[in-house]
Structure 1
Amino acid sequence: MDSWIELLHTALPFLIKGAGFTVFFALIAMVLGLALGFAVALLRIAKVPVLAQIAAVYVSAMRGTPLLVQIFVIYYGLPSVGIEFDPVTAGILALTLNVAAYLSESMRGAIAGVSRNQWLAGYSLGLNWWQTMRHVIAPQALRLAVPSLSNSLISLIKDTSLVSVITVTELMLATKEVIAQTFQPLPLYLAAAAIYWLLSALFERVQRAVEKKLEFAHRH
């Protein structure tokens, strides 16, 4: 046990640095995914059949194939047709495209959950479709979507471990590098699991705080 404590004391700075990159990748992919996911959600509910069908195929493809395969396609497959990305860019791109598909469904469901009367109220005020969406529907849909969006972020934090396969130095790859030097996999993998758990618990607390704030604002 003393050897484990000494090992973890030595390895912890490397693991924390890797965890920092994990959070960075997750937040960047989440922000980009929100923007793309919202656009895809709008296309799914738009009155343009071709665009709605393209968006539906994209969502189905992203949700129906493993994220690991998507990472391989982007990093190892696209160079064969002349499109190359460095590992970090490829990792963020794969995470963004994947999470955007799930976020689009969350936002589409939240938009559908807003009463039809809210649309009619917006139109009665002289707002067009986009203005009604922006000023009336989207704020209400966001409140409904917060739990689902927060869960997606927590899942994304864990999914970042997959980008270690393309040599992106986040928490999992940092752990593997320390293991390669110490030959002590059990305590280090347990430490990495504990860090993922702590990160998830932290964002769960943030989620509950945001939900309470939005609920308070809604009541007042």
Structure 2
Amino acid sequence: MDFVGAYSAENLKFLMEGLYITLFVAFVAIILSFLLGCILGVTRYTNIPVLSQISFVFVEIIRNLPLLLLIFFMRFALPEVGIKLGPVAAAITALTIFEGAMISEIVRAGLASVDKGQIEAARSSGLTSVQTLWHIVLPQGLRRMVPPLVSQFISLLKDTSLGVVISLAELMHNAGIIIGHGFNYTIPTLLLVALIYFTVNYLLSLLSKRLEAKNA
């Protein structure tokens, strides 16, 4: 094991470049998947005719497909119909669709957990369905969604490593290149990558606990 060679300034810089891509892809995908998940979750919760059925079919299909298949599809299948996505765009699109479907179930469950009595009281006081959803259901539902949402976001961040199959220059991709430069770099490099993933995800879990305690 060559820790000195594996942790050279050049290699560390290369790993940090990969970490930047990992965090960038994860950040964008988290924002987009949360928005998509909210739209799908609210649509299913409110039982909007036709739209709720479409959302249900979409979510069920995506949830039962492997994420790796979606990544391959975005990168290699879409060009067949004239849509060409680079590695970053393909990874973000696949993660957004896949995680959005997962998040929609969290959103739907969170909204459904709000006591029906409060909803009936709001409606009887003169609030419309939209006003009740916005002022009563969403605020309470969102607080209850925090822990599972953060867990899903942590999974999303780890899933960015699957982008290595389409040559996304993320953390694992760059680690693989470093390992390829010397067999003795394998254990030191993987240990450092594991520490990086652990640190980032652990900080997210701490944030989740703090938000959960604040909303308790």
Q: TM-score, normalised by structure 2?
A: 0.92
Alpha-carbon distance in structure 1 between the residues aligned to 2:52 and 2:73 = 25
Alpha-carbon distance in structure 2 between the residues aligned to 1:28 and 1:152 = 14
5+ residue gaps, structure 1, are 216-220
Alpha-carbon distance in structure 2 between the residues aligned to 1:25 and 1:122 = 40
Corresponding residue for residue 145 of structure 1? 145
Alpha-carbon distance in structure 1 between the residues aligned to 2:141 and 2:177 = 43
Alpha-carbon distance in structure 1 between the residues aligned to 2:126 and 2:8 = 64
Corresponding residue for residue 3 of structure 2? 4
Q: Which amino acid aligns with 2:7?
A: L
For the Cα contact (< 8 Å) 2:103–2:152, is it kept in 1?
Answer: yes
Alpha-carbon distance in structure 1 between the residues aligned to 2:77 and 2:23 = 27
Corresponding residue for residue 206 of structure 2? 205
Corresponding residue for residue 218 of structure 1? none
Q: Which secondary structure state, in structure 1, belongs to the residue aligned with residue 29 of structure 2? A: helix
Q: Deviation of residue 6 (structure 1)?
A: 3.9
Q: Note if 1:50 corresponds to 2:50.
A: yes
RMSD: 1.5
Q: Could you list the per-position Cα deviations for residues 145-170 of structure 1 after superposition, in whole angstroms to 9, with x for gaps in the alignment?
A: 11100100111110000112222211
Q: Could you list the per-position Cα deviations for residues 183-215 of structure 1 after superposition, in whole angstroms to 9, with x for gaps in the alignment?
A: 432321222122111111111111111111222
Q: Which amino acid aligns with 1:117?
A: G
Q: Which amino acid aligns with 2:214?
A: K
Alpha-carbon distance in structure 2 between the residues aligned to 1:122 and 1:12 = 57
Q: Which amino acid aligns with 1:209?
A: R
Corresponding residue for residue 62 of structure 2? 62
Alpha-carbon distance in structure 1 between the residues aligned to 2:125 and 2:168 = 51
Q: Deviation of residue 12 (structure 1)?
A: 2.3
Q: Percent identity?
A: 38
Q: Which amino acid aligns with 1:210?
A: L
Q: Could you list the per-position Cα deviations for residues 106-133 of structure 1 after superposition, in whole angstroms to 9, with x for gaps in the alignment?
A: 0100101000122123223322111211
Corresponding residue for residue 189 of structure 1? 190
Alpha-carbon distance in structure 2 between the residues aligned to 1:114 and 1:54 = 24
Q: Which secondary structure state, in structure 1, belongs to the residue aligned with residue 149 of structure 2? A: helix
Q: Which amino acid aligns with 1:178?
A: I
For the Cα contact (< 8 Å) 2:6–2:178, is it kept in 1?
Answer: no
Q: Which secondary structure state, in structure 1, belongs to the residue aligned with residue 7 of structure 2? A: helix
Aligned residues: 214
5+ residue gaps, structure 2, are none
Q: Deviation of residue 49 (structure 1)?
A: 4.1
Structure 1 stretches of 4+ with a deviation exceeding 3 A read none
Q: Which amino acid aligns with 1:130?
A: V
Q: Which secondary structure state, in structure 2, belongs to the residue aligned with residue 27 of structure 1? A: helix
Alpha-carbon distance in structure 2 between the residues aligned to 1:67 and 1:212 = 32
